[in-house]
């Protein structure tokens, strides 16, 4: 099965937290099989291969489904 997306870039970012001082997250820029380029933010706790891959695949699939409309 071909990959649903290709990761183009990952940027580590910070933002003010709602309850704590600062939250770290990772912004992934991906390109889907259909050619759509989009950004997906992943929380620091989910920044592992096992957790991030299904999140990115789901967003890529959704974007390509919308593109087909």
Work out the percent of the chain whose per-residue pLDDT is above 90. 84
φ and ψ at 60, to 5 degrees? -65, -45
Q: What is the mean pLDDT of residues 34-49?
A: 95
Residue 19: pLDDT band by 50, 70, 90 thresholds?
A: confident
Please measure the distance between the N-terminal and C-terminal CA atoms of the chain and give it in whole angstroms. 23
The yes-or-no verdict on residue 28 having pLDDT over 70 is yes
| Domain spans of the chain, in order of start | 5-67
pLDDT of the residue at 2: 63
Strand 37-43 to 22-32 pairing: antiparallel
Q: What is the mean pLDDT of residues 50-57?
A: 96
Predicted confidence band at 1 (pLDDT cuts at 50, 70, 90)? very low
């Amino acid at each position: 099965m071909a990959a649903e997306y290709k990761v183009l870039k990952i940027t580590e970012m910070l933002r003010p937290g709602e309850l704590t001082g600062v939250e770290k997250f990772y912004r992934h820029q991906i390109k889907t099989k259909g050619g759509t380029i989009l950004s997906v933010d992943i929380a620091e706790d989910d920044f592992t291969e096992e957790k991030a891959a299904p999140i990115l695949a789901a967003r890529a699939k959704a974007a390509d489904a919308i593109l087909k409309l």
